[in-house]
Structure 1
Amino acid sequence: MAITIEIDHARTRRMAPGQGQGQAPVQAKPQQRGHARSPRQAGGPVVPQGVKGPIRRLKWLILVLTLGVYYVTPFIRWNRGPNAPDQAVLLDFAHGRLYLGPAEIWPQDLYLITAAMLLATFILVLVNALAGRLWCGFACPQTVWTDLFLLVERLVEGDRRQRLKNIGAPLTAKRAAQIATKHVLWMMIALLTGGTLIFYFTDAPELLRDLAHGEMSATALTWTLVFAGTTYGLAGFAREQVCTFMCPWPRLQGAIWDPEAFTVNYRDYRGETRMSVKKAVEARAKGEPAGDCVDCGACVAVCPIGIDIRQGPSFACINCGLCVDACDGVMAKLDRPRGLIDYESWRNIERGRAGELRVSRLVRPKTVGLALACVALAGVIAVSFVTKTTAVLSVQHDRDPMSVRLSDGSVRNAYTVKLLNKSSASQTFKLGIRGVDAALAIVGYAKADAIEVEPDGSETLRVTLTMPEPVEADVTFQAVDAAGQVVLTAQDRFVNR
């Protein structure tokens, strides 16, 4: 199996007809047609061409949905009752809360966030095992905003041919107006993006009103400009450099690359040898081999990364499938079957070279195992959310001294007990113990059955246990609610030393 993965993906390499495992790739001939050049100009950015097709339409749909979710979500309301914010998604740094609809996550619930990130990683690996860098090509924020910026660029400056003419051309009044218009629109999108991100950290309608009245705080304004500048720089200028060099996922994906995954591949056994339509007809009439690829370079021209998929698998390919649309369009015009470039597994490419039937192995031990792991982890997270309490009881034993012997021979241990109320309503608890026969006393409280904890607040108690006939044993502190149900427990130890 011969696979070429190069950092300098401006060079082109292709398989010779019938080339199989263990054979070295053959250096491609220089391109003869001007439009077959790589969309990357010398020392400049990639200038991709627009394309139409089902995959491009799917990408537009995902772009609209993802941007809609991003821009609208901060304004969705969620009634959590009194003393609680009504924004559905809110990261409240001031009070140390993360609100996600009905879920309220405190710093003590960090394990849930960790589990959610682990689940996202498992899902990403599963998607990679099924279809490679599908996330990168369709839903990654860098891809989505770059597509949006490229759309603005095409609408203002024209498609690829016109933009290439503009590179190095004398600056005219029309050209200056186009550049200014493009960058103004980019800045507007960037500011809208940065401002929306700030809305996730504070009440969105209130901040929007402050912004409309010119009363936005310096902190909010600073972060808006920072996020706007990041969007403007990454989507407007860095573009494919982020996907190829800045993002770690291409390197990680190379380590878990799966030859059975359905990634964008070129069926070289069908496309080679490349030649024009006229020459292909003549070659076939003579009984000579002629491939379906006419070397038009459409697949290269539309690539947002600037690679030639006909070289073989590349770590830089984001699996967006735009080259599939471009090639299918050319094949349709030539009345040839689609799929010369397609979502296909590398194993099937090898099977095609050997004349074997293609096999779809999306369901295999690896994908089944990953899917089961995702389901199991999602179940654990769901159960943890459902069973998560709205209060926390913690106990810390005094260390110096650990125990005190009284004049009557009894032994006293002291503890710091903390009751945390994570709900938006006050709660009253009765504190008790089990496991030892000891007298419980709370400093500052005559009785232990009326401990009120304010909403989103905590109560720290100084608690002593006195045992007339001291023995070392585990002790369980328990908090009982107004209905007499034990709702919280915490374990420590009574010591006699």
Structure 2
Amino acid sequence: MTHTDSPPPSLYAAREPIFPRRVKGTFRTLKWWLMGAMLGIYYITPWLRWDRGPSLPDQAVLVDIANRRFFFFMIEIWPYEFYFVAGLLIMAGLGLFLFTSAAGRVWCGYACPQTVWTDLFILVERWVEGDRNARLRLHRQSWNIEKLRKRAVKWTVWLLIGLATGGAWVFYFTDAPTLLQNLIHGTAHPVAYITMAILTATTFFFGGFAREQICIYACPWPRIQAAMVDEDTLTIGYRDWRGEPRGKASVEGNGDCIDCMACVNVCPMGIDIRNGQQMACITCGLCIDACNDTMAKIGKPLNLISYMALTDETRERAGQPPKSVWAHVFRPRTVMYTVLWAGIGIALVVALFLRASIDVSVTPVRNPMFVTLSDGSIRNTYELRLRNKHGEDRWFTFAATSDAGFLLTLDGEPGLKVLVPANATKTQRLFVTAPAHSLGAEAARTDLRLWIQDLGTEAVPSNDRVHHDTVFNGKGE
């Protein structure tokens, strides 16, 4: 007997292209509406205008990197206020945890950019090449004029969508109409062209070719979600106790499932939900629409496949009614996420409306701690950073309150007034002097409160003022 070495089995499985069939139903309609709304928001938002005055940009939503600010309609966020952005990111994470713990991977199935653009690309593919069977035939046939023509049309539309996607993204970072003109005339900054090229290529590849591979292999969320769900989480499941054994409806003893494969043919991930919950399932609900359509045609009860929880499965197998949706949604875990989410949101709103209109930072100069002048007086130096958040130049003035008498002077300014340009930060040195033999000069440390007042403009005077507590260093031991 001759022993022949056989090659080891390959651990790599070649990707089988997925061609989802068109389906109608509640969840498909919901996905269409959500896709239209989210794409509309993404593409239209950079073109919305918001009047902020003559010296500020009028784009409603703008990430102004050059001037280090973020504008969102009436809200203006400065770099030192990044805690607002951090708070929004935390809220986004908690919101994702909340929805996942309540209804599984609804983010993946309905709102994830990969899902939204893949749906759009499949819509274009179906429009150009036909529904599932036609696309399968085109995929299997050899290259000819028809296949080349359809692929060229499809890829061209995909590239245009990718270009619009990249274009919309760069419009968020500068004035959209101006950038559009510069892009057309070839005078835009190279970074704009590079960013658009990268986003066009990634959108084209991810939405047109990678599709479910991104969800399965590149995205970490399918693995993280296991920690977010429990036995009361609503997710898509197959009632096998009702559907098995599969077969023709006319055969006595068969279950409700006639093994029509409709649920598999419409799945954008190419899985069979009847095999149980799987990591690849994005809970988009299309299999529910397909199965309900079949059940309606053969006169069987609907929801052989539907959103359900593990606790519902146990109850239904025992002949008991499932829990209500509200019982699944409102439970300790989801309530905790909701309270945390709402608490952070309320804190951000309060911080937004309570933030001071004048923003000043005061830093004592420590080297040296103080200077003894020729007349014996003691002088301390303070570094002031004055931020003018308004759209016009503003005058600021200064005063001090303390148990000791102090004299204030500004470096390079004849009086105690300084002009801060619009939407800018000005650094100014303030000298605080204690006369010789005064309480402030003789003591080691004296509490000092500096007052900064915004005088506004001649046309619109202002009395806004803030204070900053610091200390004055004297020559005492």
Structure 2 length normalisation: TM-score? 0.89
- Within the candidate set 246, 250, 263, 1:299 is matched to 263
Shift, 1:343, TM fit: 1.3
Q: Kindly indicate whether the alpha-carbon contact (under 8 Å) linking 1:119 and 1:374 is maintained by their aligned counterparts in 2.
A: yes
Of 103, 122, 128 in structure 1, the residue corresponding to residue 94 of structure 2 is 122
* Percent pairwise identity: 41
Q: CA deviation at 1:410?
A: 4.1
Structure 1 gaps of 5+ residues are: 1-40, 284-289
**Once the 2 structures are TM-superposed, how far is the Cα of residue 212 of structure 1 from its aligned partner?**
3.6
Cα distance between partner residues in 2 of 1:447 and 1:324: 76
The answer for unaligned runs of 5 or more in structure 2 is: 1-12, 456-460
Q: How many Å apart are 1:477 and its aligned residue? A: 2.2
Question: 2:162 is aligned with what amino acid?
Answer: A
Q: Alpha-carbon deviation of 1:408?
A: 5.1
The corresponding residue for 2:407 is: 439
1:347-386 matched pairs, under 5 angstroms: 347-360=311-324, 361=327, 362-386=329-353
Answer whether contact 2:222 2:280 (CA < 8 A) is retained: yes
Partner residue, 1:469: 439
Deviates more, 1:354-363 or 1:106-115: 354-363
Q: Residue type of the partner of 1:311?
A: N
1:271-290 superposed matches below 5 A: 271-279=243-251, 282-283=252-253, 290=254
2:466 pairs with 1:488 = yes
Residue type of the alignment partner of 2:23 = V
SS at match of 1:278: coil
| Pairing partner for 1:97 from 48, 51, 69 | 69
| Distance in structure 2 (CA, Å) of the matches to 1:160 and 1:478 | 73
Worse-superposed segment, 263-272 or 189-198: 263-272
Structure 1 Cα separation of the partners of residues 57 and 372 of structure 2: 50
1:486 Cα shift? 4.9
Corresponding residue of 1:458: 425
Please give the secondary structure, in 2, of the residue aligned with 1:63. helix
1:439-466 deviations in whole A, cap 9, x for unaligned? 2221122321x22211012221111222
Q: Post-superposition shift, 1:143? A: 0.7
Q: 359-368 or 84-93: which moved more?
A: 359-368
CA distance in 2, matches of 1:144, 1:252: 21
Once the two structures are superposed, residues 159-182 of structure 1 have per-residue CA deviations (whole angstroms, 9 ceiling, x without a partner) of 112222233421111111111111
1:263 and 2:231 aligned: no
Q: 1:365, CA displacement in angstroms?
A: 2.0
**Alpha-carbon distance in 2 for matches of 1:484, 1:275:** 81
Bigger mean CA offset, 240-249 vs 159-168: 159-168
Distance (whole Å) between structure 2 residues aligned to residue 112 and residue 52 of structure 1: 42
Q: CA separation in 2, counterparts of 1:111 and 1:192?
A: 32
Which of residues 48, 59, 77 is equivalent to 2:20?
A: 48
Local SS of the residue matching 2:340: helix
Quick check: 1:204 aligned with 2:176?
yes
- Distance in 2 between the 1:400 and 1:213 partners? 54
Post-superposition Cα deviations, 1:11-52, rounded to whole Å, max 9, x if no partner, equal xxxxxxxxxxxxxxxxxxxxxxxxxxxxxx952332222211
Q: Which amino acid is the alignment partner of residue 268 of structure 1? A: D
Does 2:215 match 1:243?
yes
Contact 1:427–1:454 (Cα < 8 Å) also in 2: yes
Q: How does 1:310-321 map to 2 (within 5 A)?
A: 310-321=274-285
Local SS of the residue matching 2:154: helix
Give distance in 2, aligned partners of 1:101 and 1:57: 31
Equivalent residue of 1:481, what SS? strand
CA distance in 1, matches of 2:319, 2:472: 77
**TM-aligned CA distance change 1:334 to 1:379, over 3 Å:** same
Distance 2:280 2:448 in 1: 59
State the SS of the aligned residue for 2:120. Answer: helix
AA aligned opposite 2:353: V
1:420 Cα shift?
1.0
8 A Cα contact 1:413 1:495, kept in partner: yes
- 2:291 equivalent among 327, 334, 358: 327
Could you say which residue in structure 1 is the equivalent of 2:108?
136
> Which protein has greater RCO, CA pairs closer than 8 Å, 6+ apart?
1
- Residue by residue, what CA displacement relative to the aligned partner does 1:293-344 show, whole Å, maximum 9, x if unpaired? 1222211111111222122222221111001101101111111111111111
Match of 1:418 among 368, 376, 385: 385
**Partner residue of 2:4?**
none
Query: Corresponding residue for 1:346?
Result: 310
Instruction: Say if 1:391 and 1:423, in contact at 8 Å, map to a contact too.
Output: no
Contact 1:417–1:463, Cα closer than 8 Å, also in 2: yes
Aligned twin of 1:19: none
2:368 pairs with 1:401: yes
Which AA in structure 2 matches 1:490?
H
Q: Are the aligned partners of 1:420 and 1:457 in contact in 2 as well (CA < 8 Å)?
A: yes
Tell me the equivalent position of 2:3.
none
8 Å CA contact 1:260, 1:346 repeated in 2: yes
- Aligned-residue CA RMSD (Å): 1.9
Tell me the residue number matched to 1:20.
none
Aligned counterparts of 2:336 and 2:70: Cα–Cα separation in 1: 32
Q: 1:469 to 1:406 in 2, by over 3 A?
A: farther
Judge conservation of contact 1:478–1:486 (CA < 8 Å) in 2.
no
1: distance between equivalents of 2:184 and 2:132?
39
Helix, strand or coil at the partner of 2:46: helix
Find the aligned partners of 1:400 and 1:324 in 2 and give their Cα distance: 73
Q: Using the alignment, how far apart are the partners of 1:122 and 1:143 within structure 2?
A: 21
1:65 counterpart SS class: helix
| Contact 2:358 2:464 survives alignment (8 Å) | no
Q: Which moved more, 1:203-212 or 1:325-334?
A: 203-212
For the Cα contact (< 8 Å) 1:254–1:315, is it kept in 2?
Answer: no
Conserved? CA contact 1:274–1:292, under 8 Å: yes
